[in-house]
Each structure stands twice: as C-alpha cells, then as structure tokens.
Amino acid sequence: MMVEGSAIGRPAARLMVVLAVALAALAAPRPAAADAFTNCVASKWPAARKAGVTRANFDAATRGLTPDPKTLELVNKQSEFVKPIWEYLDTAVSDQRVATGREMLAKYRSTLNEVARRYQVDPEVVLAIWGMETSYGSYMGDHNAVRAAATLACNGRSRRDFWTAQFAAAIKIAQDGHVPLSEMNSSWGAAMGHTQFIPTSWQAYAADYDGDGKRDIWRSIPDAFASTANYLDKAGWNYQETWGYEVVIPKNFDHSLADNKRKRALSEWSRLGVRRANGKDWPRPGDQAYLLYPGGANGPAFLMLPNFDVIKRYNNADAYALAVGHLADRIIGGGGFDQSWPRNERPLSRTEVEEMQSLLTRRGFPTGGVDGKVGPMTREAIRAYQKKVGKVPDGFASSTLLVDLRRH
C-alpha cells in the first residue's frame, strides 16, 4: 500500500484506522463464502475422477484451497476501453523484445532447428510465441494452475464447465509426475509454463522433447519449444509459407472485400490492384488470402495466409497473431511495417460504440441493434454512412467517425 503518512493530520489518521478496521473485516474469510467455495470445490470430485484423478490426490490438491483473489479481481473486470492495435504492437514487438529474440535464436539455434524440422514449423514463430507469452520465460505468472482454475470454476462469470475441466486436468498433470503441484505456476487464467498452455491444451499437445519422460513446459525449454511446435503443427501450420504480407490497397477500392470470409488467390488480389508494400512479387501467387486492415484503411493493410489463422488458434485475436508474425519476421532480420498507423485515431469504447450505433440507426443506417459490438451489420452501416458523406468507406469504427456523427 502506498504511504502518504507524513502529511496526514489527526482526523485523517483516525479515518485511516477506521478504514483499516473495515479492510480487516473484509479480508477475514466470511464463513458463508468460504463454505460455498469449499463445497463447490468438493462438488468437482466426479469431474476429477472422470479425468483420472485418484481420491487421495483430489483430497491433497483441494485441502484448504481458497479462491485466488487476483483471479477473482481480473475475471470480474470488464474492460471498457480498447487499446489501439499500434499501442499493443509497440509493447508486444518492442525493440527490446526483438533484440532478446535474436539472442535467444543464437542461444537455442540447434534445438530450435531440430524442433522445426521434426514438427515442420518455422523456428522463429515458435520463438515469437515464447516471446509474446512470457517474454522468453522471464515471467510465467505467479499463480497456481489448480487454484486459479478452481476459482474460475466456482466463482467465474461464465464457462464454469470449461474451468472445471481445466481444474481436473491440472490435478491429473501433477498426479502423473510431470511437475509438482506446488510448482505448477500459471497466469491468473491457468495458462501454464514457458508457452502458457491451459491444462487441457497441455494434455492434448505438450511434448517431452528432452526425453526425461516428463512433458515439462515449466522447466525444460526444449519441451516448451516442442510443445508449441506440436500445437501449431496439429493446428495445420504450413511450413516455410509465412503468415501474410503487408500490402497497399488502391484508391477507390471496394472495402467490403476486406472480410476474413472472402479469401481469394494472391494473383486475383493483384488484379484488384492490391500490391505488396515492399514492391516484391508474391512467392506463391496461388496462395489463398484474405484482406485485413486492423487500424482501418488509413493504416497498414495485410493479406493473411492460412498460417495467420493457425496462430489465432493459440490466442484468438488479430492483434496477437499480427504481433507473433511480425515479431518472428523482426527476429530474423525483417524491418517495421512500411505504412504508418493512424495514431491520431483511437478505437471506440463499448459505450461509444453503442452511441455510434444509435446515431447511425437514427440517421437511417440500421446497425441491427445497439449492443456495443462492431459486427458485420454495424460495419455495413458505417460504410453506407461513410459513402454518403464522402469518406473512405472502410467500415472502421473510429473516434473521428463518432465525432462526425455527433456533429451531423
């Protein structure tokens, strides 16, 4: 807690005492809530048994278990503001992270190359995921996977069955001797080890590469590399076919073509006037790709290959997948993007999207309801409005758009 003590006079000090007493009362376990948690955890036994956990191990793992307060805090926090993708990328693909990635590539080159050959997955992408997930193992989270999963299974807002499965799987992993339960470090959301696998993903994809019989993504870097490569391989990675290309779109382009369900061959994109930002030809013109410009038509545009969606299987967010792909390219010597981001813009908050939807609807551009989410109908409404007022109809929900809508 921050101390601002020296300036505090007597009345404030008294208030501090009152506050301290109140906080102590809050911190003390309230019997009803504690019982509810204990009862909830106990009720997970059938799920654990089904996952192959023994009664003795279930009892040992759950004895005295309490909810993880930080997990509770984070799961109940609904983020209102959306970070612009360029700010996210500034941190995710910082010069420091690129430099460390290059050091790690030099240090683990032979292991990475062996893993890459065995699983047919590009080594720099495995490295980039490691960099993104835990800054190359420098921060794996200070939570415990069993405790975090139990908290989410009993107190989470949603998907309690999913978290129950994670809880049971985590106990089973420790039971099988891969890592002691006390060392099963995870994020607040039970993502574990160097490359942040949730317990059921660990069960499906973790690999023992160093041959000690343990699939140890906490303490063995070769195991962590192989596990990530195996995950990407099983998700359909196309070896040596990269994730996508930065492209420039022509003026008067039909922006409704920027849709991840509208794939076409790179050669067809060329016919529509789309070219690579660096001016080079496509290595494989027949590859299927979709067009994405995550910061609107005023920012960099990309043609995304199937590997982009494979990265999204690891974490289903365009910003994440773009960061992984870009970090991988930077590690092996690539430069920054050729086009710049519209840093004078910012994405709209949920409340602002609702306001935008109301304003669009009122002006005769129906958004199919006011739900704070930019779906296909809202994008269509934005495009129609942009066309009407003579703006580039990219369907991007930006701060400028909202200011414009408020004014007219």
Contact residues for Ca ion, defined by CB under 5 A: 208, 210, 212, 214, 216, 220, 223
C-alpha 89/C-alpha 326 separation (Å) is 9
Q: Which residue is nearest to Ca ion (CB)?
A: 208
Residue carrying the six token digits 């509770």: 72
Closer by beta carbon to Ca ion, 216 or else 352: 216
Closest approach, Cβ 77 to Ca ion, in A, equals: 36
Closest approach, Cβ 223 to Ca ion, in A, equals: 4
CB of 250 closer than 8 Å to CB of 274: yes
Closest approach, Cβ 201 to Ca ion, in A, equals: 17
Closer by beta carbon to Ca ion, 37 or else 225: 225
Closest approach, Cβ 177 to Ca ion, in A, equals: 11
Closer by beta carbon to Ca ion, 80 or else 183: 183
Closer by beta carbon to Ca ion, 220 or else 228: 220
Closer by beta carbon to Ca ion, 35 or else 212: 212
Closer by beta carbon to Ca ion, 151 or else 175: 175
Closest approach, Cβ 221 to Ca ion, in A, equals: 10
Closest approach, Cβ 76 to Ca ion, in A, equals: 37
